[in-house]
């Protein structure tokens, strides 16, 4: 049985023997991608492992628990050596800085809440790395992402992972149809992360018990502000904390220390009603706070939409779908109203709190697992 449930032809969907099918496996050094490589190698595929070095190797060696760091590159190489397939490390540091880190810094400075993992998939892993896989004459590229690729009436479809706890569909909404045709996600059908670890133990992988990465790879300990200050000196200019009614409540050490929806760490104690960050006025260096009900949002403006539906996005005036505005929240019913092929307004049937520019809004088939694409929230409603 194919690991991803595709039983047509060989387990990867090609009409030839596994030994004649070359597959590049994007190896981060973690247990997920290592299991993918081990499983495909065990089936007899012509496996080539590729690991990206995305940032300074000296700094990477000092940071554990993040993908594409020095220790992880070593782990990926060791897995390839143990299983007997070639492995390459590609220096993508400049590409990663230009395509992901710089935008992350600029977005934070503009008061947005960026999601760099999506941009990394979109602009590095599924663009430059995918082209490298083609240059290596690979029939496809496989990754350890928890998402499913299923055959559909109009080509390959993207679906949520079988395990909702591990599902990574939010971070992969910008995968294009052309990329989806070339990609494979062999772990998406597994019921749990424990099942992956059991496979790792079965294949004798030394990374079977390796902890999952938690932070954004280039942000040690989740300290976004210190990274921004290093990338953009002078970014932490002080300013005022202002109530939505105009009252000045205190001061802050930089807008970059705050995000929409934040309650803790505001430094304005002694008030009877809990206050939340409801808006960031970057130009005036003001953090605007207000009661929780001010966070509720119904209308979400989107741009840079990637649409994966069967019919063109603009073929209807409105689409009844479900959406996620954060990776940790379940899909909520909504109406998608296209403005163009790449812009739209989403109306949430139930208001969501803490919706912020810079986040993604991901589309799902209502009542189903299919991912219909998504877009980027680009301004307050």
- What CA–CA distance (Å, rounded) separates 58 from 77? 18
Q: Are strands 319-324 and 332-338 parallel, antiparallel or unpaired?
A: antiparallel
- What CA–CA distance (Å, rounded) separates 33 from 12? 16
Q: Which residues pair with 322 in a beta bridge?
A: 333, 364
Check if 361 is active-site: no
- Catalytic choice (67, 120, 140, 361): 120
Locate 55 and state its tokens: 């940032």
Sequence length of the chain is 381
Alpha carbons within 13 A on the beta-carbon side of 272: 0
- Catalytic choice (68, 117, 140, 217): 217
The sheet that has 183-184: what strands, in order across it?
Answer: 87-91, 46-53, 22-26, 140-142, 183-184
Q: How far is CA 147 from the centre of its chain?
A: 11
DSSP state of 218: T
- What CA–CA distance (Å, rounded) separates 187 from 123? 22
Check if 120 is active-site: yes
Locate 68 and state its tokens: 């594409």
Locate 15 and state its tokens: 């009409």
**Catalytic site positions:** 120, 217
């Amino acid at each position: 049985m194919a690991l991803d449930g595709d039983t047509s032809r060989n387990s990867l969907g090609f009409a030839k023997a596994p030994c004649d099918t070359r597959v590049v496996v994007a190896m981060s050094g973690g247990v997920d991608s290592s299991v993918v490589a081990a499983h495909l190698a065990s089936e007899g595929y012509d496996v080539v492992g590729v690991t990206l070095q995305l940032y300074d190797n000296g700094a990477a060696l000092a940071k554990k628990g993040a993908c594409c760091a020095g220790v992880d590159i070593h782990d990926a190489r060791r897995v390839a050596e143990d299983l007997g397939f070639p492995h390459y490390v590609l220096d993508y540091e400049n590409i990663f800085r230009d395509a992901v880190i710089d935008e992350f810094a600029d977005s934070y400075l503009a008061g947005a809440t960026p999601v760099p993992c999506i941009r990394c998939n979109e602009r590095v892993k599924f663009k430059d790395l995918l082209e490298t896989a083609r240059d290596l004459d690979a029939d496809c590229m496989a990754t350890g992402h928890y998402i499913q690729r299923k055959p559909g009436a109009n080509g390959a479809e993207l679906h949520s992972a079988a395990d909702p706890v591990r599902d990574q569909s939010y971070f992969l909404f910008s995968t294009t149809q052309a990329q989806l045709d070339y990609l494979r996600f062999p772990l998406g059908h597994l019921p749990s992360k424990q099942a992956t670890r059991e496979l790792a133990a079965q294949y004798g992988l030394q990374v079977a018990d390796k902890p999952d990465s938690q932070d954004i790879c280039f942000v040690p300990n989740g300290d976004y502000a210190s990274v921004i200050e290093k990338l953009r000196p002078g970014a932490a200019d002080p300013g005022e904390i202002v109530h939505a009614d105009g009252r000045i409540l205190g001061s802050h050490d930089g807008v970059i220390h705050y995000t929409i929806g934040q309650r803790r760490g505001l430094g304005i104690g002694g008030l009877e009603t809990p206050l939340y960050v409801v808006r960031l006025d970057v130009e005036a260096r003001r953090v605007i706070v207000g009661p929780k009900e001010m966070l509720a949002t119904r209308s979400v403006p989107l741009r840079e939409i990637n649409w994966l539906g069967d019919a063109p996005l603009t073929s209807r005036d409105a689409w009844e779908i479900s959406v996620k505005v954060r990776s940790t929240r379940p899909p909520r019913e909504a109406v998608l109203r296209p403005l163009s092929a790449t812009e739209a307004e989403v109306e949430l049937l139930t208001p969501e709190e803490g919706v912020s520019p810079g986040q993604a809004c991901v589309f799902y088939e209502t009542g189903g697992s299919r991912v219909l694409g998504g877009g980027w929230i680009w301004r307050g409603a």
